[in-house]
Structure 1
Amino acid sequence: MIYALSGLLLGIIAGFLTPIKIPSVYSGYVSIALLAAFDSVFGGIRAILEEKFDNIVFITGFFSNTLIAGLLAYLGDRLGVPLYLAAVFAFGARLFQNLAIIRRQLIAKHIKGK
């Protein structure tokens, strides 16, 4: 788990230090894609804690969820329908569910470790 957290931290630091500017036109697509990516990352951390982690499942899920969420937002924008809300609801709910499970597992490990 330390590798996952250190990789996440390094990725956040690299993102802040990289001078890439995203045009405001694409900010909605990028935000939905980031939500999907965070959902995959926290799902991976949960899988590590449950000792069910699989690299192939994580990598394919990460890229397919991110791509589908971005495309869904783009398609909805072109059609004039807020399809991005489906991605926000689905990935947001799973993100908070994964965070709750991770928190419970860490607390249980901490209590058992004493």
Structure 2
Amino acid sequence: MLAILGLIVGIVLGIVLQPAVPSVLQPYLPIAIVAAMDALFGGARAYLERTFSDKVFVVSFFSNVLIAAVIVWVGDLIGVGAQLSTAVVVVLGIRIFTNAAAIRRVLVHA
């Protein structure tokens, strides 16, 4: 319940305050969001499978975001940022859909 309350408070604060993202960080924001979504879906799957650990979730959440951002940053440094961004989104997208399918199987037994 506390997590849902935190999510609601975060969404409301984001809507009310409308924080500005510095232009230097804007290329990394979509990648960070996809990486965070991967961690969230993985956490939801682990919760439904009764293997959830809050420590693992927090470490997974922040490490996913950091690793994805570093991959894109290195790609920008060597001139292939767009290609590595696409690769990160594809890999994390596959993981998100895999976790979503597992969640669906647990919820509807199909």
Separation in structure 2 between the aligned mates of residue 97 and residue 18 of structure 1, nearest angstrom: 34
Q: Shift in Å at residue 63 of structure 1?
A: 0.5
* Residues 4, 45 of structure 1: 8 Å contact kept: no
User: 1:87 and 2:56 equivalent?
Assistant: no
For structure 2, the 5+ residue unaligned runs are: none
Question: Equivalent residue for 2:51?
Answer: 52
Separation in structure 2 between the aligned mates of residue 8 and residue 100 of structure 1, nearest angstrom: 23
TM-score (norm 1): 0.80
Separation in structure 1 between the aligned mates of residue 94 and residue 3 of structure 2, nearest angstrom: 22
Q: Shift in Å at residue 15 of structure 1?
A: 2.6
Q: Shift in Å at residue 33 of structure 1?
A: 0.7
- Give the aligned residue type for 1:89: V
Map Cα deviations across residues 59-96 of structure 1 (whole Å, 9 max, x no partner).
Answer: 11110110111111111112111222221111111111
TM-score (norm 2): 0.82
User: 1:15 and 2:29 equivalent?
Assistant: no
User: 1:102 and 2:103 equivalent?
Assistant: yes
How many residue pairs align between the two structures?
107
For structure 1, the 5+ residue unaligned runs are: 109-114
CA RMSD of aligned residues (A): 2.0
User: 1:78 and 2:81 equivalent?
Assistant: no
Question: Equivalent residue for 1:30?
Answer: 29
Bigger drift between 60-69 and 5-14 goes to 5-14
Q: Shift in Å at residue 17 of structure 1?
A: 2.7
